[in-house]
């Protein structure tokens, strides 16, 4: 009886911890409950530790280094690292890793290096990277996600290590490959290896620039060999891989397709593809061109449409054919006002029922009224909003004076890229924003020249008075960007300790900023 109760308690604790695995502060609190919870929590913290922004993710690099062998630590001594390498960690943390992002690992090592050395040592960064890759493999770690970005200083070593240890990636579920240049032989070898050794992939994201025919063939083979593929993203028109979706093994599993910066003039047989896929739940068209080349009559569920060129009739036909499933809409082009207004009217009148994500970038001044009208129309479902209008000062003023009136009482994310020409408009906006709870608030102030000190102090005063003290924001980023000098000042570099006392986490603007493609992937994958 006692044994059964103990097992039930363990299972309950496990489910609670699993629920909070993406929230570091909460999961760390679970870690501190008792020994049982600590033991259960450790694997969750360490399966993807570099994704945590609080605490600084480079802290985990130092802990990994403590897991290195004594021989490797001796070699580190020559770099005169100011770290106690004799400490013995409680766990072999490296064996818990499930998500490996090579670019993130490199950047975390660089950030850690900056904290222990006054001068960056490239050889040290490379040595630690290689040592950690070996450590993960030798610890019998088993990845479920491989996010591999080409870097000429680390590429060949990483590939050789993975190829020599097939168990490391045998069970990967998510595969992300990003190459803007390549060594043809090694890429071919690596892709053939993946095709032979990774048969359980559920999500694929390929980004290749100007690949050769061999690359195309190998990537296509990886796609075709999967039987449980659920999500796929085609990016930057890098490959004509769409034919690999015809007559596939995954007609009963593929749910999501993302087209990102694709030229549809090169795409054929989409109608046939959509008709074959039995459980296709969402199509996302993000900043693609030649929409007039899409010939689809079979009904499909268009969840996202970010427009980079406005040709009204093809867009109208797309939306008509997909019914009213649109959830994410973006206007990311500065075209003739007539085209913008006509498109906005189309969305407002017929396709705004389910919209929860809006982004507008560098639109015409004449379109502001319609944009505000759309925001008000969808306020009950709206969660994420980005507005970029930094070129025309009076347009920014218009937004600051009127946006607060139509926002919902709660937003997950608000990102404003504006020109603050009148501090009174900015203060007026923040003052009226107090009734709205915003989980993540980002403001980027674009200026031609550096803002005078007195004006900066006024801006900071407004942020403290109406944002910090009212406690209606969880995460905050404020950036001053000087366009003529390509320079910037970040609030996090000015002062942030005071904000912490109000339970507001100040982050760098670029760290808090949401990437549209990543958002769509995370929401629907």
Question: For residue 337, what pLDDT is reported?
Answer: 67
Is cis: bond before 55, omega within 30 of 0?
A: yes
Question: For residue 338, what pLDDT is reported?
Answer: 77
Question: For residue 38, what pLDDT is reported?
Answer: 65
Q: Model's pTM, two decimal places?
A: 0.87
Question: For residue 3, what pLDDT is reported?
Answer: 46
CA distance 236 to 159: 24
**Torsion sign (Cα): 274, 275, 277, 279:** positive
**Per-residue pLDDT reduced to its tens digit, 298-335:** 889 999 999 988 889 999 999 998 889 999 999 987 66
**Torsion sign (Cα): 196, 197, 201, 205:** negative
CA distance 393 to 389: 8
| Helix 122-138 / helix 59-66 crossing angle, nearest 10 deg | 60
Question: For residue 166, what pLDDT is reported?
Answer: 94
CA distance 459 to 226: 54
Question: For residue 1, what pLDDT is reported?
Answer: 44
DSSP output for 164-219: T-GGGTTT--EEEEEESS--HHHHHHHHHHHHHH-----EEEEEESS--HHHHHHH
Report the largest interatomic distance among the alpha carbons of the chain, rounded to a whole angstrom: 74
Closest CA to 137 of 163, 172, 104: 163
Question: For residue 2, what pLDDT is reported?
Answer: 44
Question: Domain boundaries in the chain?
Answer: 1-46, 386-393+400-525
Q: Which residues, given as ranges, of the chain have pLDDT below 70?
A: 1-40, 53-57, 82-87, 118-120, 180-185, 209-213, 237-240, 242, 266-268, 334-337, 390-393, 448-451, 483-489, 492-497
First to last CA, the chain: 41
* Mean pLDDT of the residues in the chain: 84
């Amino acid at each position: 009886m006692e044994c059964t109760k103990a097992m039930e308690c363990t299972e309950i604790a496990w489910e609670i911890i699993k629920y909070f695995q993406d929230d570091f502060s909460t999961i760390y609190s679970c870690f501190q409950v008792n020994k049982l919870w600590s033991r259960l929590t450790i694997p969750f913290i360490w399966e993807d530790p570099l994704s945590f922004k609080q605490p600084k993710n480079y802290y985990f690099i130092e802990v990994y280094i403590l897991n290195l062998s004594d021989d490797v630590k001796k070699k580190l001594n020559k770099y005169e690292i100011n770290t106690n390498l004799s400490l013995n960690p409680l766990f072999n943390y490296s064996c818990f890793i499930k998500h490996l992002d090579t670019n993130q690992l490199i950047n975390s090592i660089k950030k850690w290096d900056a904290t222990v050395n006054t001068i960056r040592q490239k050889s040290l960064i490379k040595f630690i990277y290689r040592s950690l890759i070996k450590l993960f493999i030798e610890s019998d770690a088993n990845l479920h996600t491989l996010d591999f970005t080409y870097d000429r200083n680390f590429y060949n070593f990483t590939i050789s290590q993975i190829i020599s240890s097939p168990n490391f990636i045998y069970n990967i579920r998510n595969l992300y490959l990003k190459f803007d240049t390549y060594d043809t032989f090694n890429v071919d070898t690596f892709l053939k290896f993946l095709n032979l050794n990774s048969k359980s992939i559920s999500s694929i994201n390929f980004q290749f620039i100007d690949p050769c025919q061999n690359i195309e063939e190998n990537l296509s083979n990886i796609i075709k060999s999967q039987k449980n593929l659920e999500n796929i993203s085609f990016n930057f028109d890098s490959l004509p891989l769409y034919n690999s979706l015809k007559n596939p093994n995954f007609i009963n599993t593929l749910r999501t397709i993302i087209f990102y910066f694709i030229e549809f003039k090169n795409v054929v047989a989409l109608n046939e593809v959509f008709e074959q896929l039995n459980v296709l739940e969402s199509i996302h068209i993000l900043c693609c061109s030649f929409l007039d080349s899409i010939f689809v009559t079979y009904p499909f569920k268009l969840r996202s449409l970010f427009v980079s060129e406005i040709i009204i009739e093809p867009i109208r036909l797309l939306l008509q054919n997909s019914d009213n499933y649109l959830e994410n809409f973006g206007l990311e082009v500065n075209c003739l006002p007539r085209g913008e207004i006509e498109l906005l009217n189309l969305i407002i009148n017929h396709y705004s029922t389910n919209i929860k994500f809006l982004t507008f970038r560098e639109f015409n001044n004449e379109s502001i009224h319609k944009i505000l009208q759309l925001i008000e129309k969808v306020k009950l479902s709206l969660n994420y909003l980005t507005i970029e209008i930094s070129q025309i000062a009076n347009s920014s003023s218009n937004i600051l004076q009127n946006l607060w009136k139509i926002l919902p009482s709660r937003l997950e994310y608000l990102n404003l890229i504006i020109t603050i020409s009148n501090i009174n408009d900015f203060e007026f906006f923040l003052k009226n924003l107090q009734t709205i709870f915003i989980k993540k608030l980002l403001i980027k102030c674009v200026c031609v020249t550096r803002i005078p000190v007195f004006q900066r102090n006024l801006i900071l005063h407004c942020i403290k008075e109406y944002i910090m003290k009212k406690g209606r924001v969880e995460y905050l980023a404020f950036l001053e960007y000087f366009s003529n000098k390509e320079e910037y000042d970040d609030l996090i570099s000015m002062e942030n300790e005071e904000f912490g006392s109000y339970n507001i986490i100040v982050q760098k603007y670029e760290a808090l900023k949401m990437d549209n493609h990543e958002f769509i992937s995370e929401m629907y994958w």
